[in-house]
Structure 1
Amino acid sequence: MEAASHHLTRVLSHGMNADAVISDWPALTSAEVTRVLQHYPQAGIPKRLVWHSPRPFSAGCVMTTSTMEVFVKRHHISVRDVDGLSEEHGFINHLRSRGIAVSEVLTTTDGATAITDDHWTYEVHSVASGIDLYRDAVSWTPFTSRVHAHEAGKALARLHLAAEDYAAPARKAQTLVSSFTIFSQQDPMPALQRYVEQRPAIGDYLKQRNWRDETATMLLPFHDKLRPYLDELTPLWTHNDWHASNLLWTDRSAAAGVETILDFGLSDRTCALHDLATAIERNIIEWLAIQDAQNTQDAQAGKPNVAHPDLLDALLDGYHLIRPLTSRQWKALAALLPLVHAEFALAELAYFHGITRSEKNASLAYDTYYLGHAAWFNSEEGQRLLEQIGQRANHS
C-alpha cells in the first residue's frame, strides 16, 4: 500500500503562466525507474534519483547509476506510445550519425528505444554533456545574452543542414506534436477541418466556439501574406521547440556556446523556416509578460515592451552565417511568424481538453495561444518585429 501511495507523489512543474503548479502527472519514483532500467542493460545499476524535471507534459527525472547518469521520461499512453516515441528517436539517431550533439537514446535488450508498462510509456537517454544554464527558465523566457542567441542560431542552422537527407514521413496524428499541415496549404480551411476531424477532443471543444469565423478574422489575413511564399517552405524534419532551456551550454558565462541539443518531443516534418520562426516565437517574445499585463487591473497603462530586437538580430545573424537565407526566404519568415504557434496551440488544446481535462488551460490554448499570439502581431510592437525581419530581404 505504501508503494502505491508513494507512486502518486506530485512535484512542482511549470504552469501555463509564469507560476509553479502541482504537476499533472505523478513524479517518477526510485522503484519505478529501477523497474524500467532493468530493460536497458547499458544503463547500469540504479543508485540515486537526483532530480525531477519541472516540465508539465510528462514526468522526467535524472538517476545516477553504476555507469552513468540517465534521464528517464514517462508519458501517459494517450500522449505517446512506443511508435510515437520511435518517430522522434529515429530523427535523434540520424542527427547523431551526422555529427550533431544530441542526447543518446538507450535501447532495450531487444533493440527497442521505448517500452510500455501499464498505461505509461518510457524512454531513457544518457545525460548529455553541457551545462543546463536555463534549467529553471519557464517557456517563452528570452536568452540572457546576445552571444547565447547567436550561438543558438548557428546550432539550429547546423541541425537543419544535417536533417536535409532524413527522409522519414511526417509523424502520425497525436497530441503535442508541432506539425505544420494547415497554414502551409493554399487554402487552410479544409486542412483545418481535417486536422480537427482527426482529433475528436478538439472538435468537442470547438462546438462551443465560433472557430471558423474567428480563424478567418484573426489568422487568414496573415495567411494571405504568406501565400505568395509557400514555395519556400521545403519539407524538412525539424526540432520545433527551439528554446534556450532545450540546449546545454559549454559554460556558465554570457559567452557560452551550445554543447548539446535536447528534447525532440515536438519534432516532426515541417520546414526550416517554420523551425526558425518557432525559435523566434519561443525566445524573443515574452508572451507571459503580455498575459500578466492583460490580467492586471491597470493594463490600460499600456502593455510592456515584450520583444527583444537585439536578441532577434543575434539569433538571425547566427543562423544566416551557417545557412544563408535568400531575400524571398526572409519575407517568408516574416509572413510565417504570426502563424507559427497556431497549430501547436491546437495540439495543446487537444491535450488540455481531452487528456488533463483542464477547462482553464483549454481556454488558454484557444484564446491566448491560437488567437491571441497571432493578434499580438497586429500591435505596434508586433509590426515592428515583423518589419525588422522583412528588412533583411533588402540585404540578401
Structure 2
Amino acid sequence: METDHRVQGLANDQVAADWPALSEAELAWLRHHYPALEDGCDVLWHSPRPFSAAALVRSGPRRYLVKRHHARVRTAALLGEEHRFIAHLAAAGLPVVDVLHTRHGATAIERDSWTYELHAEGAGQDLYRDSPSWTPPSEPAHAREAGAVLARLHLAAADYHAPQRGTHLLVARDDLIRAPDPLSLLRSELPARPGLAAYLSRQPWEQDLQRAVLPWHAALANRLQIEPVLWGHNDWHVSNLLWLGQGAAARVATVFDFGLASPASALFDLATAIERNAIAWLDAGGAGPVAHADIALALLHGYRQVRPLSAAQVHLLADLLPLVHLDFALSEVEYFQGVTGSSANADVAWHTFLLGHADWFAGTAGRALLDTLHAAA
C-alpha cells in the first residue's frame, strides 16, 4: 500500500494519512464481489478526506467511488444505517448518490479489519473537491441553492423512521443538547465510550463545559426538546454536493457523504449547514475566523423558500448555532484518542473545535452573526 498518501489536516494543511490508500490488491479482491467492477479497476484519484480511504476508479466506461473504513469506525451494519436512509431519499426523488450492491445484495462488505462500500459516480461536477469543510462557498447563490435542496431533503425525510445510530464515532447527534442536563448524560455515556473517557480523565472537562457550553444551553430552555426528531444529513457543506452549471446559475445535481447522518432535527441540520458554510473556521490569516453573514442568510432564504420556518424557529436556529457542533466534536475527540491514538489531534478537537467554537460565538463577530439571524426571523 502507498505510504506517502496525504490528506487534509486539522490546520487546513496536508498531513500523512492515518489510513493507507486503497491498494491494487484490495481492488482486485473487490472485483470478485461487486459486479460493477468486473471490468477491472483503474485508480483515477485518491481522496484527501482524512477519516477513511477513498478512491475514484474507472471500470469499463463508468467511474465509481470505492470507500474503505476501519472496522472500529464503521462496520457493514453501521454503514447499512446510512445506506437505508439514502435509499429512502432516492425513492422520494432526491438526487442522492447511488450505493451499489455486492453479488449477494449487500451494500457493504467486510474483510479483516476493514469495511468497504461502493458508490456510482454522481452526476455533476465536484466544484469544491479541493475545499475543506468550513470553507465558505464561492457564491451566495450556491448557498441559497444548497439551502433549498436541504429543505427538500427534510421534506423527503419526514416519513423516514429508524432508530438512533449504533455509534457515536464520527456521527453528529443532538442527544446532549436536547437533554435537560447534558453533563449528566455525558457522564452516563463514558463507560461505553472508553476513548472519550480516557481523554476527558485528563481534562477539567466538567468545568470547561460549564464555562463554554452550558450558558448557551440554558438559552435554549426547553424549546429544542419539542422540535420533531428528523433524520438529516448533518454535514451539509457545498463540498458534499455535486453541481451542474457554473457561477450563480449552478444547481445541485447530487448529494453525497451521509457518514454523519442521524435522527436529530431539521433545525439541527440547518444550523450545522450554517456553521459549516458561513464561518471560515480554518482561515489562517487576519484576526481569526470570519463570519460570512451573506452566506448564512442565503442558506436560510433558500431553505425557507421550500420549507417555511416560523419566526420562533429562526430564533431557535440562532440560539442553537453555538452548540450544534458539541456532539460531533466529542466524537472527534473519541476517534482521535481511541482509534488513531493521536492525543495531539484530540487536543485540537477539544480545545480548538469544541471549546473554541463556543467561545467564538461569545465574541463580537459571533454575536454579530447571531444577531443577523435573529433579525431574519
Q: State the TM-score, normalized to the length of structure 2.
A: 0.97
1:334 paired with 2:348, answer no
Whole-Å separation in 2 of the counterparts to 1:373 and 1:219: 10
Whole-Å separation in 2 of the counterparts to 1:37 and 1:47: 8
Q: Secondary structure at the match of 2:96?
A: coil
1:273 paired with 2:267, answer yes
Q: Which residue of 1 aligns with 2:335?
A: 351
Deviation at 1:391, TM superposition (A): 1.4
What are structure 1's unaligned runs of at least 5 residues? 1-6, 294-301
Which one-letter code corresponds to 1:105 in the other structure?
A: V
Q: Which residue of 2 aligns with 1:260?
A: 254
State whether residues 248 and 258 of structure 1, in contact with CA within 8 Å, keep that contact through their aligned partners in structure 2.
Answer: yes
Give the counterpart of 1:375 among 356, 359, 377.
359
1:40 paired with 2:23, answer no
Task: Classify 1:10/1:93 alpha carbon distance in 2 versus 1 (closer, same or farther; 3 Å).
Answer: farther
Deviation at 1:255, TM superposition (A): 2.4
Give the counterpart of 1:241 among 224, 227, 235.
235
Give the counterpart of 2:8 among 7, 10, 14.
14
Q: Which residue of 1 aligns with 2:374?
A: 390
Q: Which residue of 1 aligns with 2:204?
A: 210
Q: Which residue of 2 aligns with 1:150?
A: 144
Q: Which residue of 2 aligns with 1:136?
A: 130
Whole-Å separation in 2 of the counterparts to 1:95 and 1:227: 32
Q: Which residue of 2 aligns with 1:297?
A: none
State whether residues 145 and 255 of structure 1, in contact with CA within 8 Å, keep that contact through their aligned partners in structure 2.
Answer: no
Q: Which residue of 2 aligns with 1:309?
A: 293
Whole-Å separation in 2 of the counterparts to 1:37 and 1:69: 14
Whole-Å separation in 2 of the counterparts to 1:233 and 1:357: 37
Whole-Å separation in 2 of the counterparts to 1:79 and 1:10: 22
Q: Deviations over 1:26-49 (max 9, x none)?
A: 001233112113211134412411
What are structure 2's unaligned runs of at least 5 residues? none
Q: Kindly tell me the number of residue pairs found equivalent between the two proteins.
A: 377
Task: Classify 1:47/1:37 alpha carbon distance in 2 versus 1 (closer, same or farther; 3 Å).
Answer: closer
1:165 paired with 2:149, answer no
Whole-Å separation in 2 of the counterparts to 1:148 and 1:194: 41
Deviation at 1:311, TM superposition (A): 1.1
Matches within 5 A, 1:32-111: 32-111=26-105
Deviation at 1:345, TM superposition (A): 0.4
State whether residues 232 and 329 of structure 1, in contact with CA within 8 Å, keep that contact through their aligned partners in structure 2.
Answer: no
Whole-Å separation in 2 of the counterparts to 1:392 and 1:356: 42
Which one-letter code corresponds to 1:366 in the other structure?
A: W
Deviation at 1:231, TM superposition (A): 4.1
State whether residues 147 and 254 of structure 1, in contact with CA within 8 Å, keep that contact through their aligned partners in structure 2.
Answer: yes
Q: Secondary structure at the match of 1:69?
A: strand
Whole-Å separation in 2 of the counterparts to 1:197 and 1:340: 24
The sequence identity of aligned pairs, in percent, is: 47
Q: Deviations over 1:284-334 (max 9, x none)?
A: 001112xx36xxxxxxxx725600011111111000000010111111101
Q: Secondary structure at the match of 1:140?
A: coil
Give the counterpart of 1:194 among 188, 192, 198.
188
CA RMSD, 1 decimal: 1.3
